[in-house]
Amino acid sequence: MTGNPLWKLLNMSKRRKTSLVAGILVLIFLLFWNERAFLHRSTGPSSTIVFHVLPGATFRSVVFDLAKIGVTDYPETLVFWGDLLGIDTNIHAGVYEISPEMSPFKVLYDLHNGQKYFYRLTVPEGFTMAQVARRMARLGIGTEQEILALSSDPVFLREENIPSTSVEGFLFPDTYFLPKEANVKDVFQMMISRFRTVFQTIRKQSPHPPVFSEKDLVTLASIVQKETGHPKDMAIVASIFINRLKQHMKLQSDPTVIYALNGRRKLHSRDLRIDSPYNTYRYHGLPPTPIDNPGKEALQAVLNPQPVSYLYFVSDKHGSQIYSDTLDGQDRAIRKVIRGE
């Protein structure tokens, strides 16, 4: 009987089943033994955090980064099991939300499956409301029409204490990581909150109390933002515009005209005569609202302008400005720029 091939096959099958069952029991025992490593968080942050996994990051480095932020107290155990279960070969790069109630196992499961939690919305300095709306819509956060409608909704503006007819100027330029369920209102509130934090910090640090209202300061900062992208020039340009306002001179700023023309970049001499309250060649004072969303440096510039006597400036086309006290000096500077000197 023992020489029967069929009997040998059955015995071999039984042995394999026994080995498989034993292996499963050992696995269950080890999992139970390491239950704390999988299911218990260490005493880490009590609030939700953003976790970055860079392209090419190893499983081991990711696990130890998780240990540093308080997700687990047993990184070596997780590395061992990740290797045993094959999790270590498939970790997706991206930005993840890790909430306090998530177990280490849940975190690793999401990293393995690429379960990202965020939209990444980047708003550069100087973006207009229309540009912000287009970028939000491309991410699927409402339609452009919905976004623009809320941006000028009087009820929403009152709720957020926006001293203008639009949120333009009060959406702080930054990179925002947004939950997938975020709606337009959520995003606006996040950006406005960031603006308030930055603006109030700068305001408190300013050695002199501002002579303009918040709306006027933001409007002036939005013009400075468009006139020069160089922080080293912003405080001087801000001072020049303030000098012109004090002397009841027109600001004569090209970016305000461009804004009136819905962003058309190439200006003609006839454009400087258009009848728009944003045409600072035609009307005195500041335009009715900000013309973009200024960044931190532009806000700092209008709250801390560098004291100068200049009334004019022109770009030298090399990244700097040429400043003048008089119109004759400005004409000479313009001729110099035209000649390419």
* Residue 49, H or E segment: strand 49-53
What pLDDT is recorded for position 339?
A: 72
Please choose, from the candidates 304, 123, 125, the residue with its C-alpha nearest in 3D space to the C-alpha of residue 210: 304
Is residue 305 within 8 A of residue 228, CB to CB? The reply is no
| Per-residue confidence (pLDDT) for residue 29, from 0 to 100 | 56
Number of neighbours of residue 181 by Cβ within 10 angstroms: 7
The answer to whether the Cα torsion of 41, 42, 48, 51 is positive or negative is: negative
User: What is residue 39's predicted lDDT score, i.e. its pLDDT?
Assistant: 52
Please give the structure tokens belonging to residue 278.
């944003």
Task: Tell me the pLDDT of the chain (341 aa) as tens digits.
Answer: 555 554 454 455 556 656 666 666 656 655 555 555 555 545 556 667 778 888 778 888 888 888 888 777 777 877 777 777 777 677 777 777 777 667 777 777 777 777 666 678 999 999 999 999 999 999 989 999 999 999 999 999 999 999 999 999 999 999 887 777 789 999 999 999 999 999 999 999 888 777 799 999 999 999 999 998 788 899 999 999 999 999 999 999 999 999 999 877 778 888 888 999 999 999 999 999 999 999 999 999 999 999 999 998 888 776 678 888 888 888 887 787 777 65
Written as one letter, the residue type at 200 is Q
What per-residue confidence (pLDDT) applies to 232?
86
What domains appear along the chain, each with residue ranges and CATH number? 38-116 (3.30.1490.480), 119-203 (no CATH), 208-339 (no CATH)
How far apart, in whole angstroms, are the C-alpha atoms of residue 176 and residue 182? 11
pLDDT at 325 (0 to 100): 87
With a CB cutoff of 8 Å and minimum separation 6, the contacts of 277 are 283, 287, 288
Q: Which long-range contacts (C-beta less than 8 Å, at least 24 apart) are formed by 305-308? A: 305/235, 305/236, 305/238, 305/239, 305/242, 306/235, 306/236, 306/238, 306/239, 307/239, 308/236, 308/239, 308/240, 308/243
Q: What's the confidence (pLDDT) of residue 15?
A: 60
Measured in whole angstroms, the distance separating CA 262 from the mean position of its chain's CA atoms is 24
